[in-house]
Amino acid sequence: MHSRIFLAVGLIATSGLTLANNEIKAVKVSGASHPSLAGELPTGTLTLGRETLASMPASNLTEVLDTVGGLQASQLYGTNGSEASLDLLGFGAGANQNTLILLNGRRLSNIDLASPFLSGIPLAAIERIEILPGAGAALYGNGAVGGVINIVTRRRYDNSAGLEVNGGSYGSLGGSGYATGHQGSLSGAVAMSTLDSDGYRDNNEVRNHSAFADVRYQQDGIEAYFTANGEKQELGLPGGRSEAQFRNNPQGTDTPFDDAEQDNYWLMPGLRIALRGNTALTLEASKRRQEQTFAFVSSGSFGETVVESYSVTPKLEGQHTTGSAVHNWTLGLDLHEYDYDSRTSFGNRELEQSQRAWYLHNLVSLTPKLSLSAGARKLESTLSGEGADKEQDGEMYEGGIRYTFTGNLALFAGAQRSVRIANVDELSPFNPPIDPQTGKGYTAGASWSQGRQHSTLTFWRAEIDNEILFDPVSFTNRNLEDRTVHKGVSINSRWRLDKDLMLTINASAQQVRFDGGPFDRNDVPLVPEQTLQLIADWQALSWLSTQISHRYVGDRRYDGDLDNRFRKLDHYRTTDLQLTARYQAFYLKAGVYNLEDHQVVDYGNFSNTTNTATLYPLPERHYRAAFGVEF
């Protein structure tokens, strides 16, 4: 394994160094949707801008994120990104609890084991996506163990509108529309989308409807903004397939009547006020409601869970100088309140959780070439409603350094101490007492860019203590007594080969293992050894563009196979092809996905009790077309 990692590192680094004569371009990472110097972290930050998003053969946010090296998006059912798991730096089954998801710097990650709801965020409203591998704990808090994904909506909208009708394989039919505009100091956007599909498998239908609105006002040192989103989804749950069923009938189901529904909305107001002395005060709040129901007819279980959350997150930002050094500092306070109400066939729970944190972060430009950053956060959490209150707390720290050489190459290095407190599902009375999980992470690498050419090479190592995981033997969530070690390398490169051809090469090689205890030196399940994404965007004619992408996911252990006693999930590769024709304001997109018609599995589970595996197949070759108009 070590030789394969070193070989992959050499190949990746060699491919990236062809761009070593490019010019560095600063990347802004912001806590809200406005630019923030305090967010220009000297780390391996990756940014997907509007142009990059528009060129991808992707129909939803999950498919976009799955192209990033070092980030894996695993889907159970492969329909519209529903129930997807996002994994930075290799946490397998615990990915959603160790990768923090933000919208404009505010938390979307849930307080239970549910996946984040991303299908309701329209790509047309996104200005950029910022990805911080192995960083962000001090700035953003609990759960930023593998890193942070921050989805940033547009700060100012031009006058535009669009309508689209789309359809494809498996009886899929949908549509979307948006309108954006500005007048004077006011700008905003509204968007709606709908999807109705039978899905790839039996009992795999999905009905999804969403609405999004974003309004912004800017004048005389004041910026006010309000973002709202609502989503309703119905989803059939076809369950897994045995190995024999996967070979003979991957589209079948043994759970023809299981289903789930979810309704959720977010309301996120904010206000930023410029003060004297290069300082600004930001006042932000949010209200979220998530309702999920499920009916597992196959096992005779059912339930409904409602989570209502409220947050207030004020922060003060400023800039001052000491000698030749320029300090960009942020002092913030995060207050989160959650009401959790679960009614299921195996018990009812009514809980309240309070999380309180303060943080301080400072980015110092010592010289035009050298910058340092440092930050600290103190977190306290209280869960009440089941006997004595359950208190958890933690301290997070991070720091980094970047040096930009004359020319276009920058080197960076960073370290962080992260904390993840147990969520409400993990603090269930059915589980033993669980302590906060802590981690030490280290990153180093290089970045370079020139115009529309960008590359970032990142090495990482993380040591996680008291990792919270599901034990398939005791059937409980618990702390792991011995640490896990995560290490790897990723390259994310995008460059223009000529005026009509853009090429993207994103790849990773990683090794995640238990360090000590009964699983010593075993692989952590569901973490692929290598990943690769190749994307070519060719403007073949003035009216016709072609996007072709190739994805490779390496071998990985089945979920639940902590002993590594079973064979690995097979690696796979898929190719997607999309053509886009435009005439004046109209466009027609046509795509074929999984072109080679491979049988693909992103997730599989192994049972030590029965010594059998269950697989969750993804679609074979399928098609999608869209007709639209943009003004």
Task: Tell me the CB-side half-sphere exposure of residue 610, using CA atoms within 13 A.
Answer: 7
Look at residue 461 in the predicted model and tell me its pLDDT. Answer: 96
Residue 5: strand, helix, or coil: helix
The token pair at 309 is 């959350």
The per-residue pLDDT for range 154-195, each reduced to its tens digit, is: 777 888 899 999 999 999 999 999 898 999 899 998 989 899
Beta bridge partners of 131: 46, 149
Residue 6, pLDDT score:
35
pLDDT of residue 82: 63
Over range 341-346, report the average pLDDT.
93
Categorise residue 203: left if φ over 0, alpha if ψ from -120 to 50, beta otherwise.
left
Strands (DSSP E) found in 516-609: 530-541, 544-553, 572-583, 586-593, 600-607
Mean pLDDT of 265-282: 93
**If DSSP codes are grouped into helix, strand and coil, which group holds residue 481?**
coil
Q: Which residue has the tokens 């789309």?
A: 166
514: which strand partners?
484
Domain count, the chain: 1
Structure tokens at 426: 């993990």
Please list, in sequence order, all residues whose beta carbon lies within 8 angstroms of the beta carbon of residue 624, skipping any fewer than 6 positions away. Answer: 59, 166, 167, 168, 169, 172, 589, 590, 591, 593
Q: Is 326 helix (H, G, I), strand (E, B) or coil?
A: strand
d(CA 613, CA 561): 10
Q: Which residues contact 13 (CB under 8 A, 6 or more apart)?
A: 457, 491
Residue 25 is predicted with a pLDDT of 34
What's the pLDDT band for 78 if we cut at 50, 70, 90?
A: low
- Non-local CB neighbours of 6 within 8 Å, separated by 6+ positions: none
Span 193-217, average pLDDT: 92
Q: How far apart are CA 516 and CA 512, in angstroms?
A: 13
Question: Residue 158 belongs to a domain with what CATH number?
Answer: 2.40.170.20
Mean pLDDT of 541-567: 94
Q: How far is CA 391 from CA 334, 464, 478, in A?
A: 17, 21, 16
Per-residue pLDDT tens for 275-301? 988 899 999 999 999 999 999 999 999
C-beta of residue 376 within 8 angstroms of C-beta of residue 336? no
pLDDT digits (tens, 9 = 90+) for 357-378: 999 999 999 998 899 999 999 9
Distance between CA 466 and CA 177 in Å, rounded? 47
Q: Band of the pLDDT at 53, cuts 50, 70, 90? A: confident
80 confidence band (pLDDT: 50, 70, 90) = low
Task: Look up residue 538 and give its two tokens.
Answer: 């060719």
Residue 135: count other Cβ atoms within 10 Å of its Cβ.
Answer: 32
- Confidence at 29, pLDDT banded by 50, 70, 90: very low
State the pairing for strand pair 99-103/106-107. antiparallel
Question: Two tokens at 265?
Answer: 């909305």
Parallel, antiparallel or unpaired: strands 99-103 and 147-153: parallel
Backbone angles phi, psi at 126, to 5 degrees: -90, 125
Q: Rounded CA gap, 209 and 193, in Å?
A: 6
Mean pLDDT of the chain: 87
Inform me whether the pLDDT recorded for 259 exceeds 90: yes
Q: Report how far residue 381's alpha carbon sits from residue 393's, in angstroms, rounded to the nearest whole number.
A: 6
Helix (H) / strand (E) containing 51: helix 50-55
Q: Where are the beta strands (DSSP E) in 198-258?
A: 206-219, 222-236, 241-242
List the domain range (segments joined by +) for residue 384. Answer: 2-630
Please check the confidence at residue 13 and state whether its pLDDT lies above 70.
Answer: no
Q: What is the pLDDT of residue 19?
A: 34
CA distances from 114 to 62, 264, 365, 446, 466 (A): 15, 13, 40, 35, 21
Single out the residue of 504, 489, 497 nearest to residue 457, CA to CA.
489
Pairwise CA distance, residues 360 & 489, whole Å: 29
149, β-bridge pairs: 101, 131
User: pLDDT tens, 84-102?
Assistant: 788 999 999 889 899 999 9
CA angle 542, 546, 548 (to 5 degrees): 160
Is pLDDT of 57 > 70?
A: no
Phi, psi of 244 (to 5 degrees): -65, -40
**pLDDT digits 0-9 by tens, 210-238:** 999 999 999 888 999 999 999 999 999 99
- Predicted structure pTM score: 0.88
